[in-house]
Structure 1
Amino acid sequence: MGGPMKILILGGTAEARQLASRLVALGHEVTSSLAGRTQDPILPEGNVRSGGFGGVSGLIAFLRTEGIERLVDATHPYARTISMNAVAASEASGVKLVRFLRPAWAPQAGESWIIVNSAREAVAALPAGAKVLLTTGHADLETYLERQDCFFLVRVIEAPGFPLPGHAALIRSRPPYGPEDERKLMNHHGVTHLVTKNSGGSQTRAKLDAARQAGINVVMIARPIYGPALEVDSVAAALAALDIGAP
């Protein structure tokens, strides 16, 4: 039986909070690192730090200084930079890395997605006059707004740092979302296209169901490539992959 371990979770997702809660309950010393972009985030159990590490070198230094024995990347599926940094820091420090990544969505019967690899490709896929529900967060928002011949309903948790132009409107809200509310939202605004990322999970899946039922076109931005890591998709699998034993 092993003793308590010091575990760093790169978090900010519901999955990260679930894992932190389980590890704390098992008696391990858990620190969750949040990016710090969201005001009043839902905090996980255990220790919490906010803000970046200063690149790969900063993350390596933190792992060594704090005596971290396990590293979990449970960030958002599109947090590519920190995921790549985690791979590099794990390789340099020798700290075991487990990537906890929620399963991606797959098109269901009746769904026909336009799958693209970037915001620029997503913008190019929109026809003139499209009324778009945009749920891609703050990243590349300016790229979408270049299309002045389209209307964008921008849904984010935190308002962007600049006023939206006349061909866009802001909705500030936090998931989860239900299918009926999503259907009403799309119908009220006459949405013709949904542009989103393949985040996976159940909290925001309802928009895809509502779009399918309403015959709304879906432009799906594919997940980035993160680099090699031991990848899991559940708390149970993460605990097994961490090989932490019982304190």
Structure 2
Amino acid sequence: MSAHVLVLGGTGEARALAAALDSRPGTRVTTSLAGRVGRPRALPGEVRVGGFGGVPGLAAWLREHQVRAVLDATHPFAAAITGNAARAAALTGVPLVVLRRPGWRPGPGDRWHPVPSLDAAADLLPRLGRRVFLTTGRLGLAAFAHLTELHFLVRSVEAPEPPVPPHTHTLTARGPFTPGEETALLRDHRIDVLVTKDSGGEATAAKLTAARELGLPVVVVRRPPLPRGVTAVPDVAAALDRLRTVLPEG
């Protein structure tokens, strides 16, 4: 009987994990997606879309489908999913491996303003500029909807739903983007402040390079902490190594 591994996905790392596990003899992989993107890219192995119904639902799913291990490779800001995974794993005794890519670090020339939340970012913005490139995802725009004096450029894979700031221009696009493309975008839209979450990774880091080259301030929303007692590995190779310790091959 094959060993069933559940990957909590939605990131490039999750895709790489699914591909590696799908090619591993004796392993069956299912990737779970939250369903926030209407047309997700095809994935190796099996795919399920939608929530589990909280901790009880996830625990029941793990038991029903005889899952041998859970790999949480969700976005660093998917705190609720990671918390549910940690509690469901503890309830069922299923090993949990959490992958979190390292966060970004400011370098020479960066003008970063770290904040703990989207609400804190919104409070700070009026002091930093009036034309904002907002790259925090389409689901968090309500935190900025009251800023009626500012102009926002919002980029997301799918169009955001209201409430959004009244002066918002939306670009629907999927990265990665080059530093040159990001620099041109900031100049074309006369952006004077960037807002981003500390997602980490190379895929979305070009905007930070562009902001540094243009001398723009960057409001960086810090990551939520991991659940108590949970430690994370930094990349796909480390996640697969950790998995081998709880799910030996053969």
TM superposition score normalised by structure 1: 0.95
Give the whole-Å Cα distance in 2 for the aligned partners of 1:158 and 1:9: 23
Give the whole-Å Cα distance in 1 for the aligned partners of 2:82 and 2:100: 11
2:87 is matched with: 88
Larger mean CA deviation between 137-146 and 155-164 belongs to 155-164
1:53 is matched with: 52
> What RMSD, in angstroms, separates the aligned Cα atoms of the two structures?
1.4
2:21 to 16, 20, 23: 23
Highest RCO, 1 vs 2 (Cα 8 Å, sep ≥ 6): 1
Contact 2:196–2:220 under 8 Å retained in 1: yes
Give the whole-Å Cα distance in 1 for the aligned partners of 2:163 and 2:43: 32
Equivalent position amino acid for 2:119 in 1: R
Structure 1 residue 130 displacement after superposition: 1.5
Equivalent position amino acid for 1:39 in 2: G
Equivalent position amino acid for 1:16 in 2: A
Contact 1:83–1:226 under 8 Å retained in 2: yes
Structure 1 residue 246 displacement after superposition: 2.1
Runs of 4+ in 1 over 6 A off after TM superposition: none
Contact 1:164–1:170 under 8 Å retained in 2: no
1:209 is matched with: 209
1:6 is matched with: 4
Structure 1 residue 108 displacement after superposition: 1.4
- 1:186-209 deviation per Cα after TM superposition (whole angstroms, max 9, x unaligned): 000110110000001111000000
**Structure 2: tracts of 5 or more residues without a match:** none
- 1:158-201 deviation per Cα after TM superposition (whole angstroms, max 9, x unaligned): 11223855411101111111100000000001101100000011
The count of aligned residue pairs is 245
Equivalent position amino acid for 1:92 in 2: L
Contact 1:230–1:241 under 8 Å retained in 2: no
Contact 2:111–2:215 under 8 Å retained in 1: no
- 1:36-88 deviation per Cα after TM superposition (whole angstroms, max 9, x unaligned): 11021113210000000010100000000000010011001111110110111
Q: Percent of pairs identical after alignment? A: 44
Give 1:1-247 correspondences, 5 Å limit: 4-27=2-25, 28-127=27-126, 130-162=130-162, 166-227=166-227, 228-242=229-243, 243=245, 244-247=247-250
- 1:12-35 deviation per Cα after TM superposition (whole angstroms, max 9, x unaligned): 100000011111111210000000
**Structure 1: tracts of 5 or more residues without a match:** none
Contact 1:18–1:235 under 8 Å retained in 2: yes
Give the whole-Å Cα distance in 1 for the aligned partners of 2:164 and 2:236: 39
